[in-house]
Chain A
Amino acid sequence: MAQATKHAVSRRSFMKGTAVAGLSTAALGGATLFGCAPQAEETELANTSAPTVPVDDKTTWGFCALNCHGRCSLKFHVTDDEVTWVESCGTPDADFDEPQPRACLRGRTYRRWMNHPDRLSYPMKRVGKRGEGAFEQISWDEATTIIADELRRIIDTYGNEAIFFPQMSGVATSMDSMSNNSLTRLMCMLGGYLGYYGDYSTGAAQFSAMYMYGINWYGLGSPLNVAEDANLILMFGNSLAETRQGGNIAHYDWTHLRENTNAKIYNIDPRMNSAMYGHSDEWIPINPGTDAALVAALAHELIENDWVDLDFLHEFCVGFDEETMPEAYKGKAMSYRDYIMGTGYDKVEKTPEWAAKITGIPAERIASLAEELGTTSPVYIAQGWGIQRRSNGEHASWAIMTLPCLLGQVGLPGTNSGSREGKNGIMLGSVAPGENPVTTKIPIFSYINAIEDPDSMTATKGGVQGADKLSVGIKCIISWAGNALTNQHSDINHSHDVLADETKCEFILGIDTMLTDSMKYADILLPDLFPFEQVGMSNNGGVNAHIVASQPCTSAKFERKTCYEIASLIAEKMGIGDEYTQGGKTVDDLMREAYATTLEADPELPTYDEFMEQGFVVRKGEKTNPLAAYREDPVGAPLGTPSGKIEIFSEKLLADVEGWEFQEDDTFADLGTPAPIPVYMPEWYGVETVTEEYPLMLSGFHGSARIHSSFGNVELLKELNPQELWINPSDAAERSIQQGDTVRVKNSFGEMELVAKVTPRIVAGTVACAQGAWHDADMNGDRVDKGGNINTLTTQRPTPVAKANPQHTNICQVVKA
């Protein structure tokens, strides 16, 4: 197998003869095969790369550009062209009200991560089988020649629709981000590529948001400062401190909110997540995947007790009751009210007793919560994204968004749409995206199917958009800054089998900073630079907004290059080098141009040079509410739905799915299709569908030590956040599992091994682990994943309407290893 090359310190330090004796053999030796290095080396590195008393040559500003949305500021202390200490932007006397984009625990480990033995340093060519991780160093010239030849061959043989970029979220800057980066722009100039819609974060909710509000899901929330004016705050599965941990985003905003509101706060969650530490009275434990059943019973109580805001529902909404049903569906008992009260669809009355059996919340508690909701205002209701990452995700997210509408609690001060909390921002220009000549799109989550079984990828079966069906399967993958080939995609064992077959996807180009599990499938593997190792800028925020700037903290070490440089080299080989770089523009040139458009729109911002010098700009946010305009003037400011109103009943959904093929458990009652209203659907693998063989539900969540798989190989983080399986003491006792025991989790898709965290902070009947752990299995052996990656046990079956990823919908058995 592959022998490891370790690039723990840069060549420069090495040649200067600093204390790196322990690394010398491998670092100097001609070892060109690449694999995962043993863990001990990371520790060794740390001892050698930082002086005890740092004397800075310089400090530079940079930022974290990962997918937690933090975009937190990083301050690099640099000596002899090596980073010695990574600070953030926290100042000693900052008032609690002064927002600062402080980096989280992950950002404080960049020195270890950027120098990690898994770091890629040279262009490489795969020499083993796909997935084995064996590579041979080659020159940039050879690498780009192979890439150009393969791209030409694939375009000539199959057409541009055969080229695909799987989802990535490892970098988001004004230069390079998810759907607009140096490589997508290059491919646009070379005839295009197969597009995708949706994403792994909120694929299902994006559909429900458009059906219901006609507003993009990502722009639908009121920031958390709006909740200051609420008297009741209801969070569904919203783990604010874990999902967005930085100092100028939800983590800070949540802590700040709690001290600035008089509202009673409830968190409905199968886990007492870390946003509730110290405040356990906020927790209402619920079975995962059953939030829509809770909402239905709350709606029942609100209707029964006349706590619904009928005036609002009739003026602003469609389909609550018969009065506002679309013409074509009048008189058919298809309103939301009919569903709730048992006069339509399944003819089941959604009483608290009905919901108690499903949700695990006592009927009396459901009734009392309904009373609190019905008799309090303002009410701020929000949901996390995990709710919709389930087989019933479209309807679950829709149901929660319906709850504030029943109360008339939308578009007013102190209220939210029921989507996730919103955020304020400072607009920041970026490089203009190319225009993709290929207009066919697939749901992002079906990309493995588009390789394996392209004939099944039709409009009515596979959710293909822009064409009736794919003309060709995916034959070429370009994956930059992403780990969704295997690690972050469902059913890793199946993905492995499909990707390992070189006759299916014929060429895989991988570009990243680390040798991730996905990168082991690359045919050509290229070394990227971190955002703080190059010029760049990015933006984000929560209640308050910030923009961040980056200058290279050190020289580019080894043979690492920026994504733009890599794309430029490929462009040159393809004969469009000059056209691609617009006559040799640098990243700095492009960022100056992008920032000029920013300044034009927002002249109060500093100049480009000042921005680069100061590293970040923070701006306090207003109490904004995306639905305020509609509430103010429903006729003059209609929503983007077909009716212009809030659609609790969506005629459009029924029209969209007409003729689609569904599995039985995707359809509701006797409709033959998914429901046009936000019903509770039992999950495929959920509380109502557990089996004797797999009696427990298994859910993922965002742990604090990784953002998805990023940072997943940093030993310091792993030590403090071991990959644990949360299990209730009663479930553990049944299995003779003690705190700290190694356990095996198994279902029909695979098996993983991790450590038991026996805790009353999770409901009985459900086990959970942080998603994103680095997959670690012998794929030629027993395939037991010692990394504890939940995607060893997740399904590739997409949700019915959005064709999104139901990665929290799983059942399993747990045994002591």
Chain B
Amino acid sequence: MAQYAFYFDNARCTGCKTCVLACKDKKNLNTGEAYRRVYEYAGGATEKSADAFATTCFAYTVSVACNHCDSPVCYANCPQGAIEKDPETGFVSSDPEKCIGCGTCANVCPYGAPHVNEETKKSVKCDGCADLVAAGGKPACVTSCPARALNFGEADAMAALGERADIAPLPSVSETTPNLFIKASADARGADSSDGEVANSAELA
């Protein structure tokens, strides 16, 4: 069985969200829904004392979609058995024929990957651009990145580029064993860190 994975270079990402918009155009998503998000995680303070500034501010961005996890909790918790993990690719997907739109998957996924589409009442999320991958390409988000912060390939190859995604604000990898490997920036904090917070909650779809 093959397993595909994403790679994310946290030291290169400038948070521009080209990956998000490339995904939205490819997948024809409207406002209110996104299969990929870019989080700004920031902390510290920039204060003025006497005449001068002192700063402990840090900030970095994390681009994340469905990680097609080794232990997908969406799959484990779906009451309809609608979620499948493809043996050929490792892609996790929901069968619209079986899905009843209950939203359990959306509630249990620690990455917020699936959501229930308001119109179709079906669970939807990143499918790894399976059509492009099947044709020998890579997901639209990956080939869109101007800063080359994203990559995609066999999990083993991606694992050679970075560590399994264990930086804040992502959850600990122990929850689902995500197929997302990250090269951390100098600013990056561990998944269990409380140094900062998601600073751009108003900028997420």
A interface residues, Cβ below 8 angstroms from B? 43, 46-47, 50, 52-53, 85-88, 90-92, 94, 96, 102-106, 108-109, 111-112, 241-242, 245-247, 251-252, 255, 258, 272, 274-281, 283, 285-286, 356-357, 360-363, 365, 704, 715-717, 719-722, 724, 728-730, 739-740, 755, 757, 759-765
Contacts and interface: CB of A to CB of B under 8 A. Distances in A.
B30 A279 contact: no
B14 A88 contact: no
Nearest to B188: A278
Interface string B144-160: 11111100000000000
B121 to A, nearest CB: 15
B20 A278 contact: no
Nearest to B40: A277
B11 A278 contact: yes
Contacts of B105: none
B99 interface: no
A729 B20 CA distance: 29
Given A274-B15, A721-B203, A760-B44, 20 more contacts: A47-B119, A86-B25, A92-B137, A92-B143, A104-B16, A108-B22, A108-B144, A252-B146, A252-B148, A272-B59, A278-B188, A283-B55, A361-B52, A704-B16, A716-B24, A724-B202, A759-B199, A760-B56, A760-B57, A761-B46
B138 A728 contact: no
Given A105-B16, A720-B20, A764 B203 contact: no
22 contacts: A47-B119, A86-B25, A90-B143, A92-B136, A94-B148, A103-B146, A105-B22, A241-B16, A242-B16, A251-B14, A278-B60, A280-B44, A280-B55, A360-B53, A362-B54, A363-B52, A720-B21, A729-B45, A740-B202, A757-B199, A759-B199, A761-B46
Contacts of B140: 87
Contact of A90 (B17, B54, B144, B199): B144
B15 A277 contact: yes
Interface-centre pick from B53, B137, B142, B187 (highest chain A CB count, 10 A) = B53
Contacts of B30: 43, 46-47, 716
A773 B24 CA distance: 22
Contact of A728 (B46, B137, B146, B205): B46
Interface of B: 10-18, 20-22, 24-26, 28, 30-32, 40, 42-48, 51-61, 119, 131, 136-138, 140, 142-149, 185-188, 199-205
A724 B40 CA distance: 15
A109 B12 CA distance: 23
B148 A43 contact: no
Given A102-B146, A281-B186, A722-B202, A761 B21 contact: no
A246 B138 contact: no
Contacts of A90: 142-145
A400 to B, nearest CB: 20
Contacts of A361: 52-53
B61 A760 contact: no
A721 B149 CA distance: 20
Contacts of A728: 46
Given A92-B142, A759-B42, A278 B24 contact: no
Given A272-B57, A757-B202, A717 B21 contact: yes
B48 A360 contact: yes
A281 B187 CA distance: 8
B12 A255 contact: yes
Given A278-B13, A722-B203, A111 B25 contact: yes
Contacts of A357: 51
B46 A716 contact: no
Contacts of A43: 30-31
A740 B21 CA distance: 23
B14 to A, nearest CB: 4
Nearest to B136: A92
Contacts of A356: 51-52
Nearest to B32: A719
Contacts of A94: 143, 148
A241 B14 contact: yes
Contact of A720 (B22, B43, B54, B205): B205
Contacts of A363: 52
A278 B39 CA distance: 12
Contact of B55 (A102, A246, A285, A739): A285
A107 to B, nearest CB: 8
B48 A730 contact: yes
B138 A241 contact: no
Contact of A52 (B28, B44, B57): B28
B18 A105 contact: yes
Contacts of B199: 757, 759
B95 to A, nearest CB: 16
A109 B44 contact: no
B51 to A, nearest CB: 5
Nearest to A365: B52
Contacts of B145: 90, 102, 247
Nearest to A112: B25
A693 B204 CA distance: 35
Contacts of A258: 11
Contact of B52 (A46, A281, A362): A362
A278 B61 contact: yes
Contact of B48 (A92, A251, A755, A763): A763
A529 to B, nearest CB: 21
B146 A104 contact: yes
A245 B18 contact: yes
A613 B55 CA distance: 52
A761 B18 CA distance: 22
A53 B129 CA distance: 12
Nearest to B146: A247
Contacts of A719: 31-32, 205
A112 B186 CA distance: 37
Contacts of B18: 102-105, 108, 245
A105 B147 CA distance: 12
Contacts of A112: 25
B31 A716 contact: yes
Contacts of A276: 59
A85 B201 CA distance: 28
Contacts of A86: 25
Nearest to A281: B186
A760 B144 CA distance: 30
Interface-centre pick from A53, A252, A280, A357 (highest chain B CB count, 10 A) = A280
Given A90-B143, A108-B25, A764-B53, A730 B14 contact: no
B61 A245 contact: no
A85 B26 CA distance: 6
Contacts of B147: 241, 251-252, 255
A710 B28 CA distance: 22
B59 A277 contact: yes
A360 B20 CA distance: 37
A109 B144 contact: no
B116 to A, nearest CB: 17
Given A111-B25, A278-B185, A280-B59, A105 B20 contact: yes
A721 B28 CA distance: 19
A720 B52 contact: no
A73 to B, nearest CB: 12
A716 B51 contact: no
A493 to B, nearest CB: 28
A280 B119 CA distance: 42
B17 A704 contact: yes
Contacts of B119: 47
Contacts of A704: 15-17
A609 B203 CA distance: 43
Pairs A-B, 5 closest by C-beta atoms: A278-B185, A90-B143, A241-B14, A247-B146, A362-B52
B53 A763 contact: yes
Contacts of B204: 720
Given A241-B147, A278-B185, A92 B203 contact: no
Nearest to A86: B25
B53 A279 contact: no
Contacts of B52: 356, 360-363, 365
